[in-house]
Structure 1
């Protein structure tokens, strides 16, 4: 679709959502000149759009009352985004599977024929399977009830299993929202807020008490911040290593990024780099998996731990 056509649709959407707007306000929003807005408005008039301009101090452009938007306004990329964003897995987990199917049917029926054929081809060519290869799935039998509490804004009383003793605890939570990450659902709830794995809920009751969400709480922003904090706390140590090309290719995540940033090639084809590690034990297991494609140079504690394991393995297989 042309730039002008896109801008005309933007004008309509702005007027539908904000009501009356002046030419200057539209120009500022669209980052064009006022003269361009005048020309665009004339184009909309010629297309039969019920768009009116009022003069005076409180004047501006407005749409005729009752004018409604149609799915024919959708651009091809926008229709694609709706199709790909609305995959059935999450809806089924939340207990909305049938509603999702009905919504997809209504969306498809409302599209013009060429765009309907386009999104049908798209759905046949793309499939999203978010969990990892070795993830056997995480049963969360109470997910629909948690989702209902989130939607209704109701306090939860639940029995929860955590990692540290005592493992099974009772909690009264005010749900702020749900997050789906790598195939696993997390509940963000107060007081705190804190994060709870939904698949670790052992029992729950949705109360009639209204939950209070802090004013201005941003679920997406909170999740981004908590993820950043998690990664910052995750890799508190460092290890100086040498890795072969094959070993480097098997590194992932923070280790791969650090290798690319700090790696220094050596004459034998290996690379010397400082990599982030969680702990001596975790680093030991990670580097041991690389076999002969890695050599730990420091810290000494980790190098000694690796050497002890290698000696034990050598004796066992002699």
Structure 2
């Protein structure tokens, strides 16, 4: 095609065509000009460009470009930064401007305010086992009294609230979830395992998270009387979803504006720790064990601060 034909097709000036063809040629794209009445610009037959010159490692790190912390933990910080830079450089001016403003004005910080990310000395080995589909021999610290050794087939990694979790099969029973910070030793074994073709990591994690909240996180129930206006503090203490569900199921407030709620709890000791933060804004009615624990804690605080009951 001639320069005027290209200019008409692309809706730019002929001068722009000259400039861009020269830039393409300088960057290694095999475009050249044939002189004469039947001449024009040509692209070498069969030429294909690699998207933005991305290496395989850079391409695989693209999904972490907005997560510098996790990228660094996986050893992909430099690759993610390079991939982002190349993608931005390849964009036309207007989309590049939008992308730059997005990066300047939005930032994702994964860990919560009151806790640092887990220490995960074997995250690199786990990530390599996931990527290469290699078996992983590990020593794992369970919640129980002793550590166990497992040979796992890791299917994927999930980061939740600053903590890394490995989804893997380790014998019969299907895939399970392991907290990476609890891995005490890790060794990649020879050979490869076959990852189930239909395994969906996101779907598995969603199901696991739902089951954990509904069946494993909460093992009991507390009945409390909430003072007027204390629902905001209670949401901050035990969680918005829990409080909103309890409020929706609660009866009408009494004549003093107080409402009785049924709250799911992990244990009476955990509930005591949470509800003591509420001070006099909440009163535990049931179970009796939790009420007694609250009373004992309050009496202990009174002794500690030299307060005598009236």
Q: Deviations over 1:261-303 (max 9, x none)?
A: 1243333232222211122222222212211110112223322
Q: Secondary structure at the match of 2:71?
A: helix
* 8 A contact 2:116–2:162 mirrored in 1: no
| Cα distance in 1 for residues equivalent to 2:128 and 2:51 | 30
Confirm or deny that 1:286 pairs with 2:274.
yes
Matched, 1:126 2:109: no
Counterpart pick for 2:138 among 139, 154, 158:
158
Match of 2:199 in 1: 217
Shift of 1:125: 1.1
Any conservation in 2 of the 1:83–1:123 contact (CA below 8 Å)? Answer: no
Task: Note if 1:244 corresponds to 2:227.
Answer: yes
Any stretches of 5+ residues in structure 2 without a counterpart?
1-8, 11-45, 53-61
Q: From 172, 184, 199, give the equivalent of 1:202.
A: 184
* Pair 1:265-2:247 in alignment: no
- The structure number with the bigger radius of gyration is 2
Instruction: Tell me if 1:93 matches 2:73.
Output: yes
Stretches of structure 1 that go unaligned for 5 or more consecutive residues are 1-46, 49-64, 72-81
141-150 or 99-108, which deviates more: 141-150
Query: Please, which of 154, 174, 178 is the counterpart of residue 175 of structure 1?
Result: 154
Residues 1:296 and 2:284 are matched in the alignment:
yes
How far, CA to CA, are the matches of 1:302 and 1:205 in structure 2? 45
Separation (CA, whole Å) in 1 of partners of 2:51 and 2:187:
42
Deviation sequence 1:166-224 (CA, Å, 0-9, x none) = 1x322111111101111111111112311111122222211222123234211111111
**Post-superposition shift, 1:148?**
1.3
Aligned counterparts of 1:209 and 1:257: Cα–Cα separation in 2: 50
Match of 1:141 among 121, 128, 153: 121
Deviations 1:70-101 (A, max 9, x none): 99xxxxxxxxxx89973322222211111111
Aligned-partner Cα distance in 1 for 2:121–2:51? 39
User: How far apart are the structure 1 equivalents of 2:148 and 2:64?
Assistant: 39
- 1:112-144 alpha-carbon deviations (Å, 9 max, x no partner): 101111211111111211101121222212212
CA distance in 1, matches of 2:298, 2:184: 42
1:235 maps to 218
CA distance in 2, matches of 1:222, 1:137: 23
Tell me which moved more, 180-189 or 256-265.
256-265
The structural deviation recorded for 1:228 is 0.9
Q: Normalised by the size of structure 1, how large is the TM-score?
A: 0.69
Q: Which residue of 2 aligns with 1:184?
A: 163
Could you tell me whether the CA contact under 8 Å between 2:64 and 2:70 is conserved in 1?
A: no
**Aligned-residue offset at 1:103:** 0.7
1:226 partnered with 2:208: yes
Give every structure 1 segment of 4 or more consecutive aligned residues whose post-TM-superposition deviation is greater than 6 Å.
65-71, 82-85
**Alpha-carbon distance change, 160 to 236 in structure 1, aligned in 2, over 3 angstroms:** closer
Against the structure 1 CA distance between its residues 251 and 66, is the aligned structure 2 distance closer, same or farther, given a 3 Å change threshold? farther
Answer whether contact 2:66 2:108 (CA < 8 A) is retained.
no
Aligned-residue Cα RMSD (Å) equals 2.8
Contact between 1:241 and 1:296, CA under 8 Å: does it hold in 2? yes
SS at match of 1:135: coil
User: Would the aligned equivalents of 1:236 and 1:277 in 2 still touch at CA under 8 Å?
Assistant: yes
Query: Structure 2-normalised TM-score?
Result: 0.71
2:125–2:188 CA contact under 8 A, matched in 1: yes
Aligned to 1:29: none
| Offset, 1:165 | 1.8
